[in-house]
Amino acid sequence: MQPHRFLGWRRILGLVASLWLGAVGCAASPSPSVLVVGGSMMNGDHFAEATLPVMREHFKGCRTVVLVLHASHPADRDRTEARLQRAFAHLSGISAESLHRLDDAESLRRLRAADGIFVGGGETFVLLRELYRTGQLEVIRERVHAGVPYAGSSAGANVAGQRIGTTNDFPVTDIPTRDALALFPAVINPHHPLPAAAEYATRVGKIQGYLRFNPSETVFALGDASIARLHEGRVTFAVGFGRVYRASGITELTVGQRVEGLR
């Protein structure tokens, strides 16, 4: 075969492959697509009503989503998986399966084959330890940078950030480092109280204290069932209550706002 004909066939096959992947998988994204949720996003066995539109858009076209439930206690994972399976089926008919019954090698294979990734809440330190121990942290990072959509709630949102700095969790286990997936350009603080809540002032003070010691960092705070989404290189505050803390001050967010200056 002539070299130029061979190159032509390669181009054709590449185009066919890309069209096929677009048809059977999630909508392609030229950059990481990351959704972080402040936690408490469930209403029974479904995702909370306010979260449904952005969740449907985020996982548009997905057929299978891998559930990463390391943050929950082992005794609770079967029940959590079943609940999330019903929630994803209700969302868009998506099939969801947890990694917790699989060995490490099979878990990595499933992550490499999945259309989307959802990381649930619980103990952030346990979650990050397991992501490092199993090698899943690097695989998840690679897959998301390749265009696979990631969503994380509470602990799952914490590990999407640059590091786990404002987690609200006790350090129930040792971790090799606080550095996390670094998919979302900030440190996440989930479950942020609303201004009317009794614990509001305490949380604000804790985050400001953190920034006194880490003035170069940015803390992205999210209330329960609140969502920010990184997509096509832009961070948009999508649902609920949110604010951005910097050493220089606090920025209140409004739904639909594009959040500038994150790094």
Catalytic residue from among 115, 169, 192, 231: 169
Catalytic residue from among 154, 192, 224, 226: 154
With tokens 């832009």, the residue in question is: 234
* Active site (annotated) includes residue 192: no
Give how far Cα 151 sits from Cα of 49, 120, 164, 201, 215, Å.
Answer: 17, 9, 16, 29, 27
Strands 242-246 vs 46-47: parallel, antiparallel or unpaired = unpaired
Find all residues with CB under 8 Å of 182, minimum gap 6, and list them.
141, 161, 162, 163
Distance CA 129, CA 137 (A): 10
CB atoms within 10 A of CB 87: 23
* Active site (annotated) includes residue 4: no
H/E stretch holding 84 reads helix 77-92
Q: Using alpha carbons only, what angle is made at residue 64 by residues 59 and 70, rounded to the nearest 5 degrees?
A: 90
Q: What are phi and psi of 25, to 5 degrees?
A: -115, -165
* Active site (annotated) includes residue 33: no
Sheet holding 187-189, edge to edge: 187-189, 219-222, 242-246, 249-252
Residue-by-residue DSSP string for 94-105: -EEEESTTS-HH
Residue 172 has which token pair?
């129930």
Catalytic residue from among 58, 70, 191, 231: 191
Find all residues with CB under 8 Å of 39, minimum gap 6, and list them.
121, 153, 154, 157, 190, 191, 222, 224, 225
Catalytic residues: 154, 169, 191
